[in-house]
């Protein structure tokens, strides 16, 4: 039926307006410019236990999964989701400001037990945790220092905090000395320093110890988004901040339940006193829907795995694969970023080479992510490889071989050239 209401025209005008927005204009131009190797918005029609996926009829090893410990394929985790769906149904049914099914409370306590902290508060995603928490923690009269390379959701949260009157200080590079330079000697209000625990595109980590010392000296706290450190770093996977600082007594740590946990959601560590207040101050908690209960059942199962001796085997499998990949890449004289995270990025610099490399590798059986500006700084494009505990060793070796072959066709920067340039 023809649309006689005029809505069709209004929606077209809206689309035109959106297409003229600087961000979408940029992405549309990227799509056109790299139409033969764009490799975004892919649809996978199958996934298997060997971390293979099928996209547009081609089956490739997936080196783009955040499920680092491979627990998405674990029968105990899958069964917990199924059990939770039967017990609780598929949804909490309301904002948790009204009520929470008990699985929320149990999962929050279980997370606290695993981490050895007083308590935790669960959010549906890390993005919603950051957007909800940061503006509440730093308002009018407070100082909010944010690492320029922090995740987009922290930077967006910082804009809200700034609009609410917080004194926002973006700093770069992320070092104790630079932080010291941007923080006031004696902040009159609160002081929050927000950083990532692991940079998601590079797999590198900021110097949390230095940052903590500076924040403490100025009476501030660290807010660490440890989305990619959760379950990976530290004793029993308790995260980057726990590993570096040994305690979270001056830290609010946000962890992910969607990456190494292979479930869904996020949590923030806190005290019981703070928890009551964080619930009230985070609009994304009050006004949004929560994690579906089946995933909360699975979160408890994953906590048990992380606390058990089995974790040593799983993380050992992951580390063996990370080490094999990094050693192979270094032997090829490639510029490798990160040296211990399952996110291993090759610095390609040039965005065309990064886009073409991603497509070349895909055509030869390996999916890795080509990451360009604005996800990384301009001229710092990377090939982002994500290693998994259940990647077969042949997949790691196959990727290394493919990269070696690819360099004959697409030259990548050499680590030794860069070292010479810096000398």
Using CB under 6 A as the criterion, which residues of the chain lie in contact with ligand PLP when the complex forms? 125-127, 151, 153, 196, 200, 225, 227-228, 256, 258, 266
Q: Which pair of structure tokens corresponds to residue 148?
A: 């320029």
Minimum separation from the CB atom of position 133 to ligand PLP (A):
12
Strands annotated E in 151-270:
167-171, 191-196, 221-225, 251-256, 266-270
Minimum separation from the CB atom of position 411 to ligand PLP (A):
30
Question: Are 338 and 204 a contacting pair, CB within 8 Å?
Answer: yes
Residue (228 or 238) nearer to ligand PLP, CB:
228
Minimum separation from the CB atom of position 295 to ligand PLP (A):
12
Instruction: Give 292's DSSP letter.
Output: -
The whole-angstrom separation of Cα 222 and Cα 225 is: 10
Residue (134 or 322) nearer to ligand PLP, CB:
134
Residue (114 or 199) nearer to ligand PLP, CB:
199
Crossing angle of helices 102-115 and 75-88, rounded to 10° = 150
Minimum separation from the CB atom of position 259 to ligand PLP (A):
7
Minimum separation from the CB atom of position 153 to ligand PLP (A):
5
* CA distance readout (Å), 120 to 152, 267, 277: 23, 6, 13
The whole-angstrom separation of Cα 102 and Cα 88 is: 9
Instruction: Give 207's DSSP letter.
Output: -
Task: Give the count of beta carbons closer than 10 Å to the beta carbon of residue 224.
Answer: 31
Minimum separation from the CB atom of position 66 to ligand PLP (A):
7
Minimum separation from the CB atom of position 201 to ligand PLP (A):
8
- CA 141 to chain centroid, in Å, comes to 30
Residue (228 or 391) nearer to ligand PLP, CB:
228
Residue (154 or 346) nearer to ligand PLP, CB:
154
Residue (108 or 167) nearer to ligand PLP, CB:
108
- CA 77 to chain centroid, in Å, comes to 21
Sheet containing strand 58-62, edge to edge, reads 44-47, 52-55, 58-62, 366-367
The whole-angstrom separation of Cα 197 and Cα 233 is: 10
Residue (256 or 356) nearer to ligand PLP, CB:
256
């Amino acid at each position: 039926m023809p649309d006689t209401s005029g809505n069709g025209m209004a929606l077209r005008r809206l689309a035109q307006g959106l297409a003229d927005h600087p961000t979408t204009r940029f992405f549309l131009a990227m799509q056109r410019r790299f139409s033969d190797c764009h490799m975004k918005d892919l649809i996978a029609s199958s996934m298997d236990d060997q971390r293979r996926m099928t996209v547009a009829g081609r089956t490739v090893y997936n080196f783009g999964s955040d499920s680092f410990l491979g627990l998405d394929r674990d029968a105990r985790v899958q069964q917990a989701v199924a059990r939770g769906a039967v017990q609780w149904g598929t949804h909490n049914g309301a904002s948790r400001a009204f009520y929470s099914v008990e699985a929320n409370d149990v999962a929050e306590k279980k997370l606290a037990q695993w981490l050895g902290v007083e308590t935790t508060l669960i959010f549906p995603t890390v993005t919603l945790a950051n957007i909800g928490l940061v503006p509440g923690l730093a308002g009018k009269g407070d100082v909010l220092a944010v690492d320029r390379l922090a995740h987009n959701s922290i930077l967006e949260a910082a804009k809200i905090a700034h609009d609410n009157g917080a004194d926002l200080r973006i700093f770069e590079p992320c070092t104790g000395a630079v932080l010291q330079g941007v923080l006031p000697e004696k902040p009159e209000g609160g002081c929050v320093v927000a950083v990532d625990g692991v940079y998601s595109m590079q797999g590198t980590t900021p110097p949390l110890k230095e940052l903590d010392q500076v924040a403490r000296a100025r009476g501030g706290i660290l807010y660490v988004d440890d989305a990619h450190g959760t379950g990976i770093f530290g004793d029993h996977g308790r995260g980057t901040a726990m590993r570096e600082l040994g305690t979270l007594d001056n830290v609010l740590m946000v962890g992910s339940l969607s990456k190494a946990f292979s479930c869904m959601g996020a949590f923030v560590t806190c005290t019981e006193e703070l928890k009551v207040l964080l619930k009230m101050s985070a609009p994304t908690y009050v006004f949004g829907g929560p994690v579906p209960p089946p995933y909360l059942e699975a979160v408890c199962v994953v906590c048990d795995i992380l606390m058990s001796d089995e974790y040593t085997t799983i993380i050992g499998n992951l580390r063996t694969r990370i080490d094999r990949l990094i050693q192979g890449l270094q032997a090829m004289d490639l510029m490798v970023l990160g040296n211990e995270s399952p996110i291993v990025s090759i610095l390609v610099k040039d965005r065309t080479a990064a886009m073409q490399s991603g497509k070349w590798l895909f055509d030869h059986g390996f999916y890795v992510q080509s990451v360009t500006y604005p996800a990384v700084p301009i001229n710092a494009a990377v090939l982002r490889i994500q290693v998994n505990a259940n990647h077969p060793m042949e997949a790691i070796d196959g990727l290394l071989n493919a990269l070696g072959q690819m360099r004959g066709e697409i030259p990548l920067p050499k680590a030794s050239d860069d070292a010479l340039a810096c000398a």
